[in-house]
């Protein structure tokens, strides 16, 4: 049985794909409840900053430090330097990722700064990204600055 929060992040990724976007999704969980959901908005909003995790945090709104510090950020993909930096800025103590085979962010650095990282190695997350990268490599490379 899959993790219900990762399932919600995957639904965000699939929503993004259906919109013609990059299939990465994220949810923010506090005290066992989803307080924000988001997906990559590069195509949909012409955004270079709204990766899935950023869109999720933005949608969660202005929270207090004490809120972030008991939060868990779920993402279908290993967070990049930008999204990892945002986890550090707000002191989010735990990140759960779907996979890190199609892309791996600075996981060791996050861990060295005290963040707990869990990799669910989810096959649906991998499949979404593998198919997307094969279909639209230029868009994917733009999203990761390559």
Q: Which residues are part of the catalytic machinery?
A: 53
Exposed, middle or buried by CB within 10 Å (0-12, 13-18, 19+), for 100? middle
Please report whether residue 108 would count as binding its own copies according to CB under 8 A.
no
Cα–Cα distance for residue pair 136/69, rounded to 1 Å: 36
CA dihedral over 51, 53, 57, 59, signed as positive or negative = positive
Interatomic CA distance for residues 132 and 21, integer angstroms: 9
Candidate ranges 6-14, 16-24, 77-85, 126-134; the one touching its own copies (CB under 8 A): 77-85
48 interacts with its own copies by CB under 8 A: yes
Is the Cβ of residue 89 or residue 118 nearer to its own copies in the bound state?
Answer: 89
The verdict on 35 binding its own copies (CB under 8 A) reads no
Q: Kindly tell me which residue out of 4, 20, 49, 123 binds its own copies, with binding defined by CB under 8 A.
A: 49
How many chain residues are in contact with its own copies, going by CB under 8 A?
Answer: 33
Write down the least CB distance from residue 104 to its own copies, Å. 13
- Taking the C-alpha atoms of residue 70 and residue 13, their distance in angstroms, rounded to an integer, is 24
Among 1, 32, 62, 135, the residue binding its own copies under the rule CB under 8 A is 62
């Amino acid at each position: 049985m899959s993790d219900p929060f990762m399932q919600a992040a995957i639904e965000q990724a699939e929503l993004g794909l259906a919109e013609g976007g990059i299939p990465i999704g994220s949810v923010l969980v506090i005290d066992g409840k989803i307080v924000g959901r988001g997906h990559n908005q590069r195509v949909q909003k012409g955004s270079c900053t709204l990766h899935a995790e950023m869109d999720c945090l933005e949608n969660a709104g202005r929270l207090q430090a004490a809120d972030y510090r008991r939060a868990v950020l779920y993402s279908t993909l290993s967070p990049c330097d930008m999204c990892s930096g945002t986890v550090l800025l707000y002191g989010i103590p735990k990140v759960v990722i779907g996979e890190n085979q199609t892309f791996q962010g600075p996981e060791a650095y996050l861990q060295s700064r005290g963040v707990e990282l869990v990799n669910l190695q989810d096959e649906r997350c991998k499949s979404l990204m593998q198919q997307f990268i094969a279909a639209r490599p230029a868009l994917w490379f733009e999203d990761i600055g390559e």
